[in-house]
Structure 1
C-alpha cells in the first residue's frame, strides 16, 4: 500500500498507437512531435527577414533537409553519449547491446553534441553562418525537451529522489515503495516550457543579427535548469553520486548530469561574449560599418 502522502502513478499505456504488430510508443512519438514542431517553428522564423538583418537566412528547402541531419545527429549522439557517459563498462562487456536503442538509454548531452555537429556540417555544406544555425536550433529545441520529458514520465523512468513528506510525490512502478519527486515533470517545465518562453522572447528582441547569442543563451539556460532539476532527480543507479553525498540544501552530491552541465555553462558564456563583441557577425557587415563615415563627418565633408 502506498504511503499516505503519495499519489498513485497514472496507468498510462507506454504504447501510444498500435496497428496490428506495429507499435508506436510515447517516447518515439515525443521525438517525432519535437522534430516536427521544431521544423514548423523554424520555418516561421526564417520567414521573418527582420529577424536576420545582414545574416543570410536559410531557405525553406534548407530547413526541410536540415531536419534529417539533426534527427540523425540527435539519435546517434544521444545513444553514443549514453554509452560513453553513463554505462560504458556494461556496453563494453556486451557491445551488441549498443545497437539495441529500442531498449532505452539516451543522453541529452550526447544528443546535443550530435545535433551541434550535424548543424555545423550542414551550415558548411550550404554556405550558411554556423552560429546563426545554432541560434535557430536553440530557439526550437525546448519543444522537443518538453515532450521528451513528458514521455519519460509516461514511461515511469528517470524518476526523482525519495520525498516521503512531499504532498505530490508519486510511487513509480519500478521505483520501489517510497514516494518520489516527479522530476520528469520538473524538467519538462524548466528545460522545456520556461526555456521555450525565454528563447521566444529573446529571438523577438534580438533576432539572429548577433550570431551565437541565442545559442549561448540556450546553453547557459539549459545548464542552469538541468542542474537545478538534478537536485530532485535520482542519479543513475550504475553511477550514483560522483562526488559527495550531502551537497546543497536539498541533499545529495554531484551527479553526472551536473558535471556535464559545467562545460555547457562555460561554452555558452563564451558564445554570448563573442556574439556581443561582434566576433561572429558577417565580416562584410563589420567592414562596411568600419569604413562608412557617420552622419556628422558626411555633413562636414
Structure 2
C-alpha cells in the first residue's frame, strides 16, 4: 500500500537551547498543556462572572478560588495521569522498575488516570471550601475539552498513538519502525490519524456542545448536566475512536493481534473502551439526575 498522505515534517520541539550544559526545550506537548489550562481558566472565569448562568444566580466559587483550583487540578493531572498509566497499562513493568515511575519526562500518561486525578483534586477542594459537588464538577468540565483537543494535536505532531492500518484516502504514513510494521502490507503503511479523530470528537465537538449548553441552554442551572454531558460525551467519543486506534504494544500478541483486554467471541474491548464504559454510564446518570435538580 502506498502512503496516501505523507507525515508532515514538524519537530516535536518548538525550540531548544543550551544553558549551563543543560538542554532546555519547549515541546508542543508541553505547550498544549499550558495553553489548554489557560483556555479552561478563561472559559470558567467568564462563566463565574456571569452570575445569571448559575442556579439561584449564585456561582459556586469566586475567581480567586478558581485560581487556587487550577493549581490543584494541575497536580491532579500530572500525578493521576502518571499513576493511571502505571496501573492501567504497564503494571508489571513498573512493578519490576519502580524507580522509573516518577520519570514522567520519558513519556507515559493516561487520560483516564489524569481525569481521576482531577476529580479527586476537585472533590477535596470542594470539601475544603464547602462547594457543592455537582456545581464543582460542572465548573471543572467547562474547559476540559479544549485541552484534550490540543493534547491530541500534539500527539499527532509527536507521531504517537496512531491508528490501525487503513487504505482510506486520509491515511497517514507515520514515521518510525513501529508505525511501519504492518503485517501483510508491502511498501509504505498508511494508518488512521486517530489522534485527529480524538481532537475533533473529544475536543472540538464536545467543547462546542458544552459551550452551547452553558451559554445558550443555561445548563449550569441544572447541576450535573454539563459534567454529565462531558463524561458521557468523552466516553462515547473515546469508545468510537478506539475502533480505529492501534492498541498499546504490550497488549498485542500473536493470538491477540487487535490488543483486546476482554474477548467477546470474535470481538473484544480495548483498555480504552473498557475504561470509557463507566464514564458513559456515570455521565448518563448525572444527566438524568440533573433534570430533577433544574431550577424552575
CA distance in 2, matches of 1:73, 1:137: 12
Following TM superposition, by how much is the alpha carbon of 1:11 offset from its aligned partner in structure 2, in angstroms? Answer: 1.1
Counterpart pick for 1:102 among 97, 100, 105? 105
What secondary structure sits across from 1:238 in the alignment?
helix
List alignment gaps of at least 5 residues for structure 2.
Answer: 181-187, 252-258
Matched, 1:122 2:125: yes
What secondary structure sits across from 1:253 in the alignment?
strand
CA distance in 1, matches of 2:151, 2:106: 16
Aligned-residue RMSD, C-alpha = 1.7
Q: Larger radius of gyration, structure 1 or 2?
A: 1
Distance 1:216 1:32, change over 3 A: same
Asked whether the equivalents of residues 172 and 193 of structure 2 are also in contact (C-alpha less than 8 Å), the reply is yes
Distance 1:50 1:254, change over 3 A: same
Partner of 2:256: none
CA distance in 2, matches of 1:245, 1:199: 34
Asked whether the equivalents of residues 51 and 59 of structure 2 are also in contact (C-alpha less than 8 Å), the reply is no
Partner of 2:204: 193
Partner of 1:213: 225
Matched, 1:150 2:161: no
Following TM superposition, by how much is the alpha carbon of 1:16 offset from its aligned partner in structure 2, in angstroms? Answer: 1.4
Asked whether the equivalents of residues 76 and 114 of structure 1 are also in contact (C-alpha less than 8 Å), the reply is yes
Partner of 1:261: 276
Following TM superposition, by how much is the alpha carbon of 1:243 offset from its aligned partner in structure 2, in angstroms? Answer: 3.0
Partner of 1:161: 164
CA distance in 2, matches of 1:75, 1:202: 29
Partner of 1:295: none
Partner of 1:29: 31
Following TM superposition, by how much is the alpha carbon of 1:245 offset from its aligned partner in structure 2, in angstroms? Answer: 8.5
Matched, 1:233 2:245: yes
Q: Deviations over 1:6-54 (max 9, x none)?
A: 2211111111132432111111111111111111111111010110132
Partner of 1:271: 286
Asked whether the equivalents of residues 5 and 167 of structure 1 are also in contact (C-alpha less than 8 Å), the reply is no
Asked whether the equivalents of residues 5 and 168 of structure 1 are also in contact (C-alpha less than 8 Å), the reply is no
CA distance in 1, matches of 2:48, 2:100: 40
> How many residue pairs end up in the alignment?
274
Following TM superposition, by how much is the alpha carbon of 1:5 offset from its aligned partner in structure 2, in angstroms? Answer: 4.2
Matched, 1:75 2:94: no
Q: Deviations over 1:160-217 (max 9, x none)?
A: 0000x21111111120142100000000000000000111111121232221111111
Asked whether the equivalents of residues 246 and 253 of structure 1 are also in contact (C-alpha less than 8 Å), the reply is yes
